[in-house]
Amino acid sequence: MNKREKLLDVLEELKEKDRHKFIFHLKSLKERPPCSQIEHLQDIGLAEILLEFYGENKAWEVTKGVLSKIPRNDLLQKHFSNEERMDTSTPTKKHDVHERFQDKTKSDVCRENARKQNLNSHVFGKHSKNKHKSKRPLVTERQLMILAGNFGKEWKNIGIQFLGFANYEIEQFDEGNTDFKMKVFYMLLHWKRRGKEKATPRKLYKILSKPDVPLSIDKLSCLQKEKRK
């Protein structure tokens, strides 16, 4: 198993509370992706961002350092060799990831934001459990990532005409990412956040399967499978 796959495995094993801690410590690094891009990501989206921003080897090192801060020593023991774990516990290198945290004031602000986000997630989750038991599941980040890879050069047109984005929003997705697939992914992810409990695979499939949408129906198979459940 290569480091890309191992990185995703590690992130998928994080519980919700630990994932918030992971993002908090990641946002405290001097060299880290923009906070707006990582704040609400789940497993696969977060893995893609880390790999795109750091590269495979450095993303693995950063993950190791952040896990030691949570701490999730069980994941370090499971996924990292003895030598790698020793490097984490005894940071002697000048540019080690543990020396990249910013000043205490900014860390306190990030910690408070993470606490509020965790509280909001808890409240919303409880509300959904009690009031929306009959609702269909929301579209997943994995589905959105697969779907993003099926879009073509007409993605901006689809975003504005059918998903309801303003032109300036589309330009932000375009300018903020160098990878084409990630441009489309963030557009779809923003659609999901904006739609909240209505952002289901069925809803997205219904929008993108309209005759005027410049996207062939076979490109929506990842949504159609979920839709039929």
Q: How far is CA 123 from the centre of its chain?
A: 21
Average pLDDT for 25-30: 80
Cβ atoms of residues 49 and 64 within 8 Å: no
Give 148-194 pLDDT, tens digit per residue. Answer: 999 999 999 999 999 999 999 999 899 878 899 999 999 999 999 99
108: exposed, middle or buried (C-beta count within 10 Å: 0-12, 13-18, 19+)? exposed
Distance CA 59, CA 96 (A): 13
Could you report the per-residue pLDDT of 33-46, keeping only the tens digit for each?
776 666 666 767 77
Average pLDDT, the chain: 76
Assess whether pLDDT exceeds 50 at residue 146.
Answer: yes
Taking Cα atoms as reference points, which of 34, 170, 27 lies closest to residue 110? 27
Region 25-33: mean pLDDT is 80
Residue 29 bridge partners (DSSP):
101
Averaged pLDDT, 44-57? 79
Q: Per-residue confidence at 227, pLDDT binned at 50, 70, 90?
A: very low
Where are the domain boundaries for CATH 1.10.533.10 in the chain?
3-99, 141-227
**CATH number for the domain formed by residue range(s) 141-227:** 1.10.533.10
Is pLDDT above 90 for 8? no
What is the model's pLDDT at position 140? 94
pLDDT band at 49 (very low <50, low <70, confident <90, very high): confident
For range 49-55, the mean pLDDT: 80
Per residue in 102-141, pLDDT (tens digit) is 444 455 555 656 555 555 555 445 554 555 444 679 999 9
Superfamily the domain 3-99 falls into: Death Domain, Fas (1.10.533.10)
- Between 144 and 47, the more confident residue is 144
Q: What is the distance between the alpha carbons of residues 76 and 69, in angstroms, rounded to a whole number?
A: 11
Is residue 79 very low, low, confident or very high in pLDDT (cuts 50, 70, 90)? confident
The verdict on whether omega for the bond into residue 211 sits within 30 degrees of 0, i.e. cis, is no
pLDDT score recorded for residue 192: 95
